[in-house]
Amino acid sequence: MLLVSAIYWALDLYQDFATSTLTQQKPIALSDVRTRIEKGDLRTALTMLKQCPYSDELLEVGYELGMLLESGKHWASALNLYHWLSKYDPGLSDFVTRIEEIRRNRELLLKLGKTQASPQTEEPIIGHYRLLRKIAKGSTAVMYEATDTRSHNRVALKVMKLRKDEANDRDRVEHWLHEAEIVSQLDHDNIVKIHDAEMLEDSAYIAMDYISGYSMSARLRKRQYLTVGECIRISRDMLRALAVAHSHGIVHGDIKPANIMYDSVNDTYILTDFGAAYTEKRERMADNVIVGTPAYMSPEQLEGKKLDGRSDLFSLAVTLYQLLTGHQPFSGNSLPELKKNIVGEEPDLNHLTLPAGITEVIIKALQKKTYMRFADAQQMLTSVEFCEAQLRERMRQHS
């Protein structure tokens, strides 16, 4: 059995290598990669993914593809993918974590002489929360819909597994829980409400409001771009949330479409996931670790400088631009090129067709120098509300 397992592993490696030799140089759209994934042609999808220009969405597609390769027992292809992703951005330690899991599965494969690792079952109860269903799985945590067995309220439970004897893991989770404790003190309709957070022996969790709705990244995947009215509403809600967070000394640090939820019950937009947030007392988790999402980072965040709320305003402007156009104002075929463009190049405004006032607000928030942006979230909010009043007046005059 041991020999058979080794042969299958070698065949998997060979097939992956053979497929990779067919890689062409012409860039490929991520939508074509998703089509291949949906058809179940995972190895071709892997080859095509490596020809796509770097973007935040590429990382999301890459992680999704990795999960599918693992579930299909294509261990070598999955390992190949995670190695490629980590080399693309060494700061993304989440993918390195996935590599280590793959290696452990491989060792177990060869040791036991089986074609797959023993399945791992998840406990139906974590802390005092009963898990109902899995909502989403990210690179470091799993989000569940759950019920609080004490209050019987429905919550969203974000669970992070811990590896034994991994000091970095524990430090990361301690930071995560520290920020959760701070955010739980914020009381605002546009900030997700955190009810509970705890570190257990082999996991940690954060319990927060369950939001019936969808994220803005889901809108992007469906190519349902924002109208001017929606842009103003999202801007208002996010800036109100940021004004409150910044007044408490909290910089979110990871404003992006995936962290903006539409609450269909209350018809409002909610800022979520403060996992990358930090305060003046605790600015960074560790040196040389990217905290946040590079495609949405401000120049000062990419350069590792001290941040204030104006960094979040830059990230919000990048997010609004993408939600309006389907494109990002800064692009690059690699992470170093992306960083270079964000830090030194002017944004590509060719795709932005908006009323002059809104365009000027976004451009001002995208300035490289912090002193050239809005002074704070409240000042930017005032500008957005002024633009809204102007648009309403024009509509009234033409009605």
What tens digit of pLDDT does each residue of 44-85 get? Answer: 888 888 888 777 677 778 777 877 776 666 767 777 777 777
- pLDDT given for residue 114 in this prediction: 46
User: DSSP readout, 25-93?
Assistant: SS---HHHHHHHHHTT-HHHHHHHHTTSPP-HHHHHHHHHHHHHHHHTT-HHHHHHHHHHHHHH-TT-H
Judge if pTM exceeds 0.85.
no
Residue 171 has pLDDT above 80, yes or no: no
| Domains along the sequence of the chain with CATH | 2-112 (1.25.40), 125-209 (3.30.200.20), 213-398 (1.10.510.10)
Q: Bigger pLDDT: 59 or 151?
A: 151
Q: Record the tokens describing residue 327, joined without a space.
A: 């494109």
Instruction: Express as a percent the part of the chain with pLDDT over 70.
Output: 75
- pLDDT given for residue 16 in this prediction: 47
- pLDDT given for residue 167 in this prediction: 58
